[in-house]
Structure 1
């Protein structure tokens, strides 16, 4: 039963990666969430195994995600800024303990790690980087909310972490297939793989859609396209198609904003209204080439089972969603009556 609960929690947390909506925070039994601001989790000085490290990571993540809104809802408005700072610092300290225990585990095992353990360790580092970027995003967002100032956070400041995620994911994919004789078909193509665990697809999708460095995000798309993986709700082929669409929208809109001196969502809507996105005349060479005004906050596939249609839902903070038809992918919902 506990294993099933963990699987469903992972599946719901994966939906948050796509929609980035509060309603999609993973479900958690409120009886497991501390009712006081202080959290006490006994993280060992060193983990005994990769599995133990993963379990602690997922437990800390889920408790923090649910603890914050529970405490803040009962905190008086006048105390909210200080309480928010205290809670977020506390979560940072917990993840620091986790990272320290993981380092000690690596040092203790050294070269004795098996191939499977090396893959698991790389996956932990991928999700560590992914989560710590979101931690910085949340910290900046809450600080800006209570100070009523513009949020200073920028995904561009995390290109190094994005690049590390891509490099680690490439190594995981290559090592996984080399380690198993069943992963290659007779034609030399990689056989599709299926897992309910959090793997590389979700983090690679984040890189492709949140990192605006044109080289890093395209490498992430290339890995998604070649991986042929189904990890929970994440399908690498579908994520690659969606990510390519997002890149095309942002880069085309970026050029239009620069040329037409437009700075609002109207330019983005006008770009999307064209049935075929034109390739930008000037190539984007760095992250700053994508203005904040055309950067998408979220993008995820939406299925209409009754009409047998598929859409790409995109949006920006505080602005209306835009649904883009994806007729080439409608076969996914073309279920026989």
Structure 2
């Protein structure tokens, strides 16, 4: 039997509070349990919500979006027990076979959507084996590594075809869409490359070039026009720029790039699903402010901010709840 709406709201709030408490205490496994409970509750109440009017569904929307952000970020900000060195795109590029160029931007979009879906499946697999009771077997390691390598191969081949297509694009709309797709591709590559790592922050530093490319292409996209609104379907070409910029803000420790990210996020006035540019910009700015304080020798207690510079420390915070 589905819970009543008011009861569901109370349960979701309780789940979120428990997630925050457990993550702050570094009790990752219990935090994930509460997170999964909230997601399952949302699935229970969603069918009933669809039959109601738009106004009656509003009270649940902020809670639903908070859980969506948490579910997306869990694989980025929690500790790993899978100790693997991720493969890099450059290391496997010589093995790539030739791929026919895309005939149009829509074809490129459709293939990238498939790759992003595969990435989500991979991160779910990582989450399932994040806290093994008796360790992760060698077979599981090998299987996840194979999936990782296949994803990186596919993403590299996709970019080769996009480079060829880019030379043929003439309309501003197609070029803007292609920029957004390239931003998503870089974001996907960064997540996949690090999803099977031990989570150490230095691993992200080796992808400085990718962060720079992502920022340049996102800047071109933002200059071409605003991002999509909240009600735009997720299958449109423009979705994915704000989350990619947010990933850069949280994981790239170059202060120049991080400040530039915050500037771009403030220009993204619309909302992509649960992501809203100006709010993500506040997190990026607080993160860099804390980093500046740490460089000056200040302790965390003196910063007086709920955000810290290192992604290692960010694993203990649920920053999505403050949006």
Q: Scaled by the length of structure 1, what TM-score is found?
A: 0.56
Corresponding residue number in structure 2 for 1:160: 209
- SS of 2:207's equivalent in the other structure is helix
Aligned to 2:320: 301
| 2:43 matched residue in structure 1 | none
Unaligned runs of 5+ in 2: 1-63, 78-97, 130-135
Instruction: Count how many residue pairs are aligned between Structure 1 and Structure 2.
Output: 228
1:176 aligns with 2:225: yes
* Aligned mate of 1:252, from 285, 293, 296: 293
Residue 101 of structure 1, aligned match among 150, 157, 161: 161
TM-score of the two chains, using structure 2 as the length reference = 0.58
Aligned Cα root-mean-square deviation (Å): 4.0
- Seen in structure 2, the aligned counterparts of structure 1 residues 247 and 234 have a Cα distance that, compared at 3 Å, is same
| Stretches of structure 1 lacking an aligned partner (at least 5 in a row) | 1-10, 25-42, 145-149, 178-191, 258-266, 278-289, 303-310, 313-337
Q: Contact conserved, 1:253 with 1:294, CA < 8 A, in 2? A: no
The whole-number CA distance in structure 1 between the counterparts of 2:228 and 2:115 is 28
**Residues 1:113 and 2:131 are matched in the alignment:** no
Shift of 1:22: 4.5
TM-superposition CA deviations, 1:105-149 (whole Å, max 9, x none) = 234x2xx4210000011111111111111222124x1xx5xxxxx
* Counterpart position of 1:20: 73
C-alpha distance in 2, partners of 1:126/1:46? 19
Query: Where does 1:23-172 land on structure 2 (aligned, <5 Å)?
Result: 45-66=100-121, 77-107=137-167, 109=168, 112-139=169-196, 141=197, 144=198, 154-172=203-221
SS in 1 for 2:271: strand
Structure 2 CA distance for aligned equivalents of residues 215 and 203 of structure 1: 17
Per-residue CA distance 1:197-254 (angstroms, 9 max, x = gap): 4242222222222111111110111111233222222111111112212222233234
Q: 1:219 aligns with which of 243, 255, 260?
A: 260
Match of residue 194 from structure 1: 229
Closer, same or farther in 2 for the Cα pair 1:80/1:230, shift >3 Å? Answer: closer
